[in-house]
């Protein structure tokens, strides 16, 4: 179970509040979207533009992340927007949530969590792969062979770059519902550098599972909050699922353990 931006249906996405809740609800992995700041720090935020979730001084909290320093981003709180959108889930502590750095995430959750990290728009943020590998090296996570870290991206080039740096890091190629089809060419290419694919859930059927498994690729669909869709995918034998609702998925996993690892 991969907690998409944390337990982001119940707490502000990519905050410690959402990650703490996801851990309490039994998530196997916390998911993190990476952005690179103007001073080369890795921060966790989905959007490359701050305006949707950040509140604070305009000079620090509007515009693109990569034009701000990490210190500027600490001026921004990223919880009150959630309470405005979901008043039934409002919590005074949300107003204190800040944009975490990836370093802060690793320091906070240490040995207690697994990390599923996406390189966001890496073509617009050169150096992201090297910065990420260096940080993982520092925490002993880049080559430990335990699968505690998985790197995902829609960019094959980004994943190839990481594979060249650390061949043992598990990598997952994301596949958009509006992107290239999941055909032999895509799967053959992915199998040269990735351990799995992360397709939009609507793309996943028995044929995709079969073709991926024949190439020893895991299948981790995103992002599934509906219990019936969870059941469908688990019955097919997927190897993991992204969800904004870890508690809901935990209930489904009790009855559907998921598929066996291909080529184990």
Catalytic residue among 4, 32, 163, 239: 4
Angle between helices 102-109 and 16-24 (to 10 degrees): 30
Residue 46 among the catalytic residues? yes
Residue 94 among the catalytic residues? no
Catalytic residue among 32, 46, 163, 256: 46
Question: Which residues are identified as catalytic?
Answer: 4, 46
């Amino acid at each position: 179970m991969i907690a998409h931006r944390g337990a982001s249906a119940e707490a502000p996405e990519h905050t410690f509040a959402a990650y703490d809740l996801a851990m309490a609800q039994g998530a196997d992995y916390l998911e993190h979207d990476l952005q690179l700041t103007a001073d080369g720090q890795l921060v966790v935020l989905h959007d490359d533009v701050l305006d949707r979730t950040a509140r604070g001084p305009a000079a620090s909290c509007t515009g693109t992340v990569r034009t701000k320093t990490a210190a500027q981003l600490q001026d921004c709180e990223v919880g009150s927007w959630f309470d405005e959108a979901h008043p039934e889930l409002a919590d005074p502590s949300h107003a204190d949530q800040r944009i975490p750095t990836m370093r802060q995430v690793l320091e906070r959750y240490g040995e207690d969590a697994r990390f599923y990290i996406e390189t966001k728009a890496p073509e617009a943020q050169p150096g992201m792969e090297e910065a990420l590998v260096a940080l993982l090296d520092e925490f002993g996570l880049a080559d430990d062979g335990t699968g505690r870290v998985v790197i995902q991206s829609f960019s094959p080039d980004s994943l190839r770059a990481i594979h060249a740096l650390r061949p043992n890091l598990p990598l997952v190629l994301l596949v958009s519902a509006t992107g290239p089809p999941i055909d032999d060419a895509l799967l053959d290419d992915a199998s040269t550098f990735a351990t799995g694919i992360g397709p939009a859930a609507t793309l996943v059927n028995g044929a995709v599972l079969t073709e991926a498994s024949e190439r020893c690729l895991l299948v981790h669909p995103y992002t599934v909050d509906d219990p019936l869709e969870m059941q469908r995918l688990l019955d097919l034998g997927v190897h993991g699922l992204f969800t904004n609702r870890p508690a809901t998925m935990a209930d489904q996993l009790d009855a559907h353990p998921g598929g066996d690892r291909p080529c184990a």
